[in-house]
């Protein structure tokens, strides 16, 4: 009954053939890459650009994006090896179960539930902000009381869009993929327009100084909960901007890169996961990194970072409005409004697949792993996830949600980077369609960078994260450990006997 028991790779793969919990293999390399690009291009580029430029990085916003991209790229190489070796739903949860043991797998699964649930809610909240911009174009204004969680009572548009994407996911992954491809094409057109038109409006004077001089934080803004944890640990003088601001900004815009790990969660639904999953992960990262660097330079070049409202929910549109090109502001608002729907949908997809894998292993009620007889999707867990996400999006503001997503994602990246080295040592015999180059160096750098970015998140974010993880321990020892299929004596339901490796 050890909490560090591991589930063999072979058993994980055999479980995918259980007729009651078998997912359809509908996705190809293009589907996976578009899923990745579709979820990565979202609130990070449409919303957080303004916030980070105004409060952390200034024109060096592009450097913040680059630092975050390097951390993601290193972790992405580890994800690619794992996903091609263990093509099973669940992503980091499944990888950890095979290498680090059940308790660690539960921790990372619980963490991923936080990442994807809060992430989807954050994107639904972002959608609501851009919807207000679109409605303003046609002269319609929604009452603040029903359109903002921070200023009113409830964010009704965020609730509605969350329930809509839940329905799309229930009726089929392939349908969701086709819808995603259309919307991603729209988003790419909008981003290309931002870059092409924005270049003609750039005032290079707005980039000077490129890294603004560090400024002390007013006493009223201090305190452990409001400052980066690393500042409190090492007693640094609280400050914004400067090199420290660029790194703190990277910890925030890291939210813009979450998404490639979604590709890993859908590996079980890929037709040729050994080839297609690495293409989807690394290809989507490469595309969006180039786009993010260009857009961040444009937004800080078109509008002086000191003039950007950090609380503006649509900074790209506002920048072009300030430059007198209102039609671009309208185009960005429409494109972002449509595009954020897909991001919320794909994050909800990731949440449902991780919870599905945990339920199939008995760590959550196994009835949640049943798939729909017609659509072949885990409809029960998707329904529960959709309702929970709608409730969170309706009553919690975006900034709080974004920081929680970042810390959960960074923690997941650290565990995957460690696990890929463990599996290399414990199962060198496994066929690996993709191998992480110089794995010890890549994985080690990924761990260091991700941990450093985590330390640059606020003390308040760490408090909430630790409370969530503590709750996860309670659930595991109260339910998951006793109901684990792997922990039961004899063969797990629907599977052959286990060998000495579990």
Q: Say if residues 97 and 12 touch (Cβ distance below 8 Å).
A: yes
For the chain (502 residues), the mean pLDDT of every run of 10, in chain order, is: 78 77 76 79 73 87 90 88 77 81 90 84 82 83 77 85 90 69 84 90 91 73 70 73 86 76 74 82 86 88 86 75 84 83 82 89 91 86 93 77 77 89 88 88 94 86 90 93 78 39 38
> From CA 413, how far away is CA 432, in angstroms rounded?
20
Query: pTM score, two decimals?
Result: 0.78
pLDDT of residue 259: 67
The pLDDT value given to residue 444: 95
Model pLDDT for residues 145-194, shown as the tens digit of each residue: 887 766 777 888 889 999 998 998 888 766 666 777 788 888 888 889 98
- Where do the domains of the chain lie, and which CATH numbers do they carry? 9-483 (1.20.1740.10)
> 240 pairs with which residues across the strands?
215
- Helix (H) or strand (E) run with residue 240 in it: strand 239-240
The whole-number pLDDT of residue 89 equals: 65
- DSSP letter (8 states) at residue 306: G
Phi, psi angle pair for 484, to nearest 5°: -55, 130
Task: Give the pLDDT confidence score for residue 489 in this predicted structure.
Answer: 47
How far is Cα 364 from Cα 354, in angstroms, rounded to an integer? 11
Q: What pLDDT is stored for residue 238 in this prediction? A: 62
Cross-strand pairs, 215 = 240
Residue 348: name the closest of 372, 384, 400, 376 by CA: 384
Mean pLDDT of the chain: 82
Residue 473's pLDDT is: 94
Of the chain, the percentage scoring pLDDT greater than 70 comes to 89
The confidence score (pLDDT) of residue 358 equals: 92
Backbone CA torsion sign across 181, 183, 186, 187: negative
Count of residues in the chain: 502
């Amino acid at each position: 009954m050890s909490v560090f028991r591991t589930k063999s790779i072979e058993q994980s793969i055999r479980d995918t053939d259980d007729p009651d919990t078998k997912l359809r293999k509908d996705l190809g390399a293009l589907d996976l890459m578009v899923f990745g690009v579709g979820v990565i291009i979202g609130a990070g580029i449409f919303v957080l650009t303004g916030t980070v430029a105004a409060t952390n990085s200034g024109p060096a916003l592009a450097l913040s994006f680059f630092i975050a991209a390097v951390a993601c790229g290193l972790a992405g190489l580890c994800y690619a090896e794992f996903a091609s070796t263990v093509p099973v739903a669940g992503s980091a949860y499944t990888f950890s179960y095979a290498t680090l043991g059940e308790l660690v797998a539960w921790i990372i699964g619980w963490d991923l539930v936080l990442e994807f649930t809060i992430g989807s809610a954050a994107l639904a909240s972002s959608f609501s902000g851009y919807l207000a911009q679109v409605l303003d174009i046609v002269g319609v204004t929604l009452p603040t009381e029903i359109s903002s969680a921070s200023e009113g009572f409830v964010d009704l548009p965020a609730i509605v869009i969350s329930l809509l994407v839940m329905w799309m996911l229930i009726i089929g992954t392939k349908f969701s993929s086709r819808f995603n491809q259309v919307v991603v094409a729209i988003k790419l057109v909008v981003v290309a327009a931002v870059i092409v038109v924005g270049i003609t409006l750039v005032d290079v004077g707005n980039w000077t100084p490129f890294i603004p001089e560090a400024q002390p934080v007013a006493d009223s803004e201090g305190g452990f909960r409001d400052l980066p944890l690393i500042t409190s640990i090492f007693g640094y003088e609280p400050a914004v901007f400067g090199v420290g601001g660029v790194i703190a900004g990277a910890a925030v815009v890291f939210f813009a890169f979450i998404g490639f790990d979604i590709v890993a969660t859908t590996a079980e639904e890929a037709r040729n996961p050994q080839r297609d999953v690495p293409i989807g992960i690394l290809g989507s990262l490469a595309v969006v990194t180039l786009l993010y660097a260009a857009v961040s330079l444009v937004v800080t070049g078109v509008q002086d970072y000191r003039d950007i409202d950090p609380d503006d929910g649509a900074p790209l549109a506002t920048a072009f409005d300030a430059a007198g090109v209102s039609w671009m502001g309208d185009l960005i608002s429409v494109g972002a409004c449509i595009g954020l729907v897909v991001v919320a949908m794909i994050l909800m997809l990731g949440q449902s697949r991780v919870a599905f894998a945990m339920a199939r292993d008995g760590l959550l009620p196994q009835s949640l792993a049943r798939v729909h007889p017609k659509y072949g999707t885990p409809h029960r867990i998707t329904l529960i996830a959709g309702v929970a996400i709608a409730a969170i999006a309706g009553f919690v503001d975006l900034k709080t949600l974004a920081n929680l997503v970042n810390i959960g994602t960074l923690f997941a990246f650290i565990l995957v980077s460690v696990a890929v080295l463990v599996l290399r040592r414990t199962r060198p015999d496994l066929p690996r369609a993709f191998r992480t180059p110089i794995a010890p160096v890549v994985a080690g750098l990924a761990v260091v960078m991700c941990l450093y970015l985590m330390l640059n998140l606020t003390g308040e974010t760490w408090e909430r994260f630790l409370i969530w993880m503590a709750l996860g321990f309670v659930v595991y020892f109260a339910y998951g450990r006793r109901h684990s299929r792997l922990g039961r004596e004899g063969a797990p339901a629907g599977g052959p006997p286990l060998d000495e490796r579990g």
